[in-house]
């Protein structure tokens, strides 16, 4: 039996409870040592529900006293960098939810700290672990749709304040350091760069289209939020050799029908769901095989499920710790996507395309 990795989960909110903790608590290769949250009742309840050995209210105390090897950071994005850095300096492997950092300097610091200490650093979103995206990458590499000319990716919804089942206060999603580009667009950007490789340039339009929203459910139901970060961002990416992509990242979409991501090639088309999910369809014209139209590709990786699970990332992270291998969902990839998002805002302000310097 494989050695279990001793894990701590920091943040006991909606994302942790709905996605991560059910998978972590049931995984054979993980021992959930502790959880940490500033709300005592929430931390204690989560500890009991998911079988952790203890809970902490003080993050620094947890790093000092808990018998852990790795930390999973699942709190507000504005704190990901500081908590991840503290964990690395304490000698712990780190998996952080998106975004890993808010500046390129912060991303560089985390990467350098992990390398210096020989620690694993992985960053969500884990979309490139999905069977759907792995299959798309393989189909494109084999040339089934020819040269990829352009891609359209929709990565938007109506924002967490509008949800009927959001239990905590979503105000922070509408403040500096958050917003739909960091919360939603990041999925499409990880997918496109994971499949096509690093982007070369970015151009964007961005602004606040809905300046105030009202929370629909949960502990802050009825609260009005002043939107302080752009809620409507549209990007154009240049991947070189005249391969382009469009991405929308907004909190302005009540409903949307049709495929979330479409790759248009010189000899065919691939359509898929968003956030790393299926189903996949490929349009191809192979007269010698008597094929012309949309087909569902066979996947040796297993069934392409219509639902994508955020917890895939932390399971992969733990496996890489055990195997002493670099995570596929690397910090370098996350840094490149962060640069795209930062440069997108610069482009929106300046009206000029921005060149990208990072790679992975």
Position 306 scores a pLDDT of 44
Q: Where are the domains of the chain?
A: 5-126+311-328, 128-307+338-355
- At the fourth CATH level, the homologous superfamily of domain 5-126+311-328 is NAD(P)-binding Rossmann-like Domain (3.40.50.720)
Q: How many residues does the chain have?
A: 360
Domains 5-126+311-328 and 128-307+338-355 share a fold: no
Position 279 scores a pLDDT of 76
Instruction: State the pTM of this model.
Output: 0.92
360 residues of the chain, pLDDT tens digit each: 678 999 999 999 989 999 999 999 999 999 999 999 999 999 999 999 999 999 999 999 999 999 999 999 999 999 999 999 999 999 999 999 999 999 999 999 999 999 999 999 999 999 999 888 999 999 999 999 999 999 999 999 999 999 888 888 999 999 998 999 999 999 999 999 999 999 999 999 999 999 999 999 999 999 999 999 999 999 999 999 999 999 999 999 998 877 799 999 999 999 998 776 767 888 888 777 677 777 777 654 444 444 457 788 999 999 999 999 999 999 999 999 999 999 999 999 999 999 999 999
Position 341 scores a pLDDT of 98
Please report the sign of the dihedral spanned by the C-alpha atoms of residue 128, residue 134, residue 140, residue 141. Answer: positive
Position 298 scores a pLDDT of 62
Position 297 scores a pLDDT of 74
Instruction: Please say whether the structural domain 128-307+338-355 has been given the CATH code 3.40.640.10.
Output: no
């Amino acid at each position: 039996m494989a050695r279990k990795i001793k894990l701590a989960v920091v943040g006991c909110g909606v994302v942790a409870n709905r996605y991560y903790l059910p998978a972590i608590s049931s995984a054979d290769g993980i021992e959930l040592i502790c959880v940490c949250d500033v709300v005592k009742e929430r931390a204690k309840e989560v500890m009991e529900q998911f079988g952790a050995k203890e809970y902490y209210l003080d993050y620094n105390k947890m790093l000092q006293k808990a018998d852990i090897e790795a930390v999973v950071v699942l709190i507000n994005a504005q704190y990901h960098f500081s908590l991840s850095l503290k964990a690395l300096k304490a000698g712990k492997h780190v998996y952080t939810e998106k975004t890993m950092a808010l500046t390129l300097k912060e991303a560089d610091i985390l990467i350098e700290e992990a390398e210096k200490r020989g620690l694993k650093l992985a960053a969500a979103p884990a979309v490139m672990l999905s069977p759907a995206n792995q299959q798309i990458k393989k189909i494109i590499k084999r040339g089934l749709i020819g040269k990829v000319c352009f891609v359209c990716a929709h990565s938007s919804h109506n924002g967490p304040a509008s949800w009927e089942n959001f239990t905590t206060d979503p105000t922070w999603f509408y403040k500096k350091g958050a917003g739909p580009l960091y919360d939603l667009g990041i999925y499409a950007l990880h997918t496109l760069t994971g499949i096509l490789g690093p982007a070369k340039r970015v151009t964007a339009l961005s602004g606040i289209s809905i300046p105030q929203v009202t929370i629909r459910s949960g502990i802050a139901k009825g609260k009005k939020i002043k939107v302080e970060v752009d809620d409507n961002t549209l990007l154009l990416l240049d991947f070189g050799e005249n391969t382009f992509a469009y991405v929308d990242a907004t909190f302005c979409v009540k409903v949307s029908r049709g495929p979330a991501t479409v790759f248009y090639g010189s000899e065919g088309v691939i359509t898929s769901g968003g956030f790393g999910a299926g189903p996949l369809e490929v349009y191809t014209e192979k007269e010698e095989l008597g094929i012309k139209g949309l087909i569902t590709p066979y996947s040796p990786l297993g069934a392409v499920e219509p639902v994508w699970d955020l917890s895939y990332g932390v399971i992969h992270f733990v496996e890489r710790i055990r195997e002493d291998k670099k995570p596929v969902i690397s910090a370098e990839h996350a840094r490149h996507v962060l640069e795209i998002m930062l440069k997108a805002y610069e482009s929106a302000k300046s009206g000029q395309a921005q060149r990208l310097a990072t790679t992975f």
